């Protein structure tokens, strides 16, 4: 009997991401290290970015420039950006030092770097969406560089509406998609184990005498 789309998707999920990987109740002992916290701290910062950014998008530029409450949410959004990039860079460096592409995790590693590159574009459009002198200065200084790449006919850094739409709608969707893909791969393959020590012992083994 031929399988329908729903059954095919269900079988693929069961075969590739079993529940004991998707929602594990136990983790390896080496996950107790602080180095494994950078990823979840990055995710937490991203969630707070979405929350504060949604509030700012609802009330608009006039509110976040004039209202004291708007200033407060604008500040929280700004510092969430700093925390997001800070923890993301630490996460990338930590995973690089651990050779996190081992064990078939190369797509997890590549997906993480794509997330980082898309986040840089999100940060740029965010600065261009401030609707103040900073955004005007950044737009004027950056437009020639964008034009030099050949995409200036499609993206105008001085167009507030275009940059704002990219920042609050298009780029967040791209980030959420790649983030979900990244987390799915982490759940499928598990977190990468530490590199063997100098004596050749693995993370759960004793050094050789």
127 compared with 18, residue with greater pLDDT: 127
Supply the DSSP symbol for 142: H
For residue 53, is pLDDT > 90?
Answer: yes
Query: What's residue 50's pLDDT?
Result: 95
For residue 152, is pLDDT > 70?
Answer: yes
Q: pLDDT tens-digit profile of 154-171?
A: 888 988 899 999 999 999
Whole-number Å distance between alpha carbons of 143 and 131: 16
pTM of the model: 0.83
Q: How confident is the model at residue 125 (pLDDT cuts 50, 70, 90)?
A: very high
SS3 call for 95: helix
Q: How many CA atoms lie within 13 A of 65 on its CB side?
A: 9
Query: What's residue 190's pLDDT?
Result: 81
């Amino acid at each position: 009997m031929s399988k329908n789309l729903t059954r095919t998707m269900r079988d693929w999920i069961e075969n590739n991401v079993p529940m004991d990987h998707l929602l594990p109740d136990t983790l390896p002992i080496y996950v107790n290290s602080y180095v494994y916290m950078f990823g979840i701290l990055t995710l937490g910062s991203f969630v707070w970015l979405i929350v504060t950014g949604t509030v700012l998008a609802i009330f608009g530029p006039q509110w976040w420039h004039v209202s004291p409450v708007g200033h407060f949410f604008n500040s929280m959004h700004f510092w969430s950006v700093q925390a997001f990039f800070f923890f993301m860079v630490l996460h990338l460096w930590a995973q690089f030092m651990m050779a996190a592409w081992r064990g078939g995790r190369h797509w997890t590693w590549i997906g993480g770097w794509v997330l980082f590159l898309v986040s840089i574009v999100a940060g740029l459009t965010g600065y261009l969406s401030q609707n103040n002198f900073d955004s005007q200065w950044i737009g004027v200084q950056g437009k020639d560089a964008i034009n030099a790449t050949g995409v200036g006919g499609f993206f105008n850094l001085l167009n507030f509406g275009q940059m704002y739409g990219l920042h609050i709608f298009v780029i967040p969707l791209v980030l959420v998609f790649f983030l979900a893909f990244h987390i799915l791969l982490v759940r499928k393959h598990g977190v990468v184990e530490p590199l063997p020590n100098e004596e050749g012992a693995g993370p759960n083994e004793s050094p050789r005498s």
